């Protein structure tokens, strides 16, 4: 298996399962309802399940856009912006959309020639493509751990 397929599998693992940490976004967020996505169970911690999920989704969208030949248009200051929903359907629609986008990114990654990973990411200001896809995966793992802790705390308080 080439590097592109390996990276694609690693990306799918963190979002859909099958990674060595045995935890993934889809499984963790499946039973998370809108009732807790805005909760801040600790006075010392400002993030919420929604904020972290949207944050990771933001970078997934940016990388997908660049890897499909589009421009690098992201801005870190926008990465923690998130909507305020009042209906469960809106949250579920967002998750469904995120799963589709991650699947698309995984397919794009799998289809790349191995030399693609040594090329500059976007304008080259942020390293190469390999550093960015592995950074996204590491970043997603980091925030998933936070989401798991927030979920447990929020469910414990209910």
Residue 155 CB contacts under 8 Å (≥ 6 apart), including other chains? 36
- Tell me what percent of the residues of the chain surpass a pLDDT of 70: 99
Q: With bands split at pLDDT 50, 70 and 90, how would you rate the model's confidence at 85?
A: very high
How far is the C-alpha of 63 from the C-alpha of 137, rounded, in Å? 11
How far is the C-alpha of 12 from the C-alpha of 40, rounded, in Å? 28
The architecture of the domain spanning 3-157 is: Up-down Bundle (1.20)
pLDDT per residue as tens digits for the range 35-68 = 999 999 998 999 999 999 999 999 999 999 999 9
How far is the C-alpha of 135 from the C-alpha of 129, rounded, in Å? 10
Q: Per-residue pLDDT for 30 more than 70? A: yes
- Residues 117 and 130 sit within 8 Å (Cβ to Cβ): yes
Least Cα distance to 53 among 91, 1, 13 occurs for 91
pLDDT per residue as tens digits for the range 103-128 = 999 999 999 999 999 999 988 889 99
* Residue recorded with tokens 């995966």: 137
- Residues 136 and 12 sit within 8 Å (Cβ to Cβ): no
């Amino acid at each position: 298996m080439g590097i592109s397929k390996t990276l694609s599998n690693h990306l799918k693992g963190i979002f859909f399962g099958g990674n060595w940490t045995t935890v993934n976004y889809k499984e963790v967020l499946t039973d998370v309802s809108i009732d807790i996505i805005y909760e801040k169970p600790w006075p010392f911690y400002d993030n919420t399940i929604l904020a972290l999920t949207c944050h990771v989704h933001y970078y997934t969208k940016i990388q997908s856009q660049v890897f499909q030949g589009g421009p690098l248009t992201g801005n870190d200051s926008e990465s923690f912006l998130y909507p305020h929903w009042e209906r469960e359907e809106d949250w579920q629609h967002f998750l469904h959309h995120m799963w589709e986008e991650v699947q698309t990114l995984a397919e794009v990654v799998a289809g790349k020639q191995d030399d693609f990973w040594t090329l500059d990411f976007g304008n080259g200001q942020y390293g190469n493509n390999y550093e960015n896809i592995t950074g996204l995966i590491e970043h997603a793992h980091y925030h998933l751990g936070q989401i798991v802790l927030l979920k447990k705390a929020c469910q414990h308080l209910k």
